[in-house]
Structure 1
Amino acid sequence: MPRETTPGSVRSAELNEQIRALWTRAGGRLDEQQRAEYERLVTAWAAAVRSDVTETV
């Protein structure tokens, strides 16, 4: 997987917004396709948060 050029804190904020928008569009209930997208976004968000912590230390 290619490394993101966006700093972790910015990337995590962008991903957080995408996650919120997904839930809003779905009305709080995710279908199978939306669930897969949610899992992808949360995994990417967690990686961005980890990289931000690593960069900060």
Structure 2
Amino acid sequence: MRMSPDSLTPGSVRSAAVLNEQIRALWIRAGGSLTPQERAEYELLVVQWAAAVRDEMVEAA
């Protein structure tokens, strides 16, 4: 089941590790070549991953 970019809630709390796994799974499902919809999903996941990494670093400090 693929997530649409609309199903990714900007305020949802997911760890960087979970988001990283979702990014990896997307690339595996896509076979290394993303459709425009998958590219939009990928971009949202990367933005959320970066925010999660930043938040985890702040919490650790």
Query: Structure 1: which 5+ runs fail to align?
Result: none
The percentage of counterpart residues that share the same residue type is 58
Map of 1:15-54 to 2, 5 A cutoff?
15-54=19-58
Greater per-residue helix proportion: 1
TM-score (norm 2): 0.78
RMSD: 1.4
> What corresponds to 2:5 in structure 1?
none
Query: Structure 2: which 5+ runs fail to align?
Result: 1-9
TM-score (norm 1): 0.83
Aligned residues, how many? 52
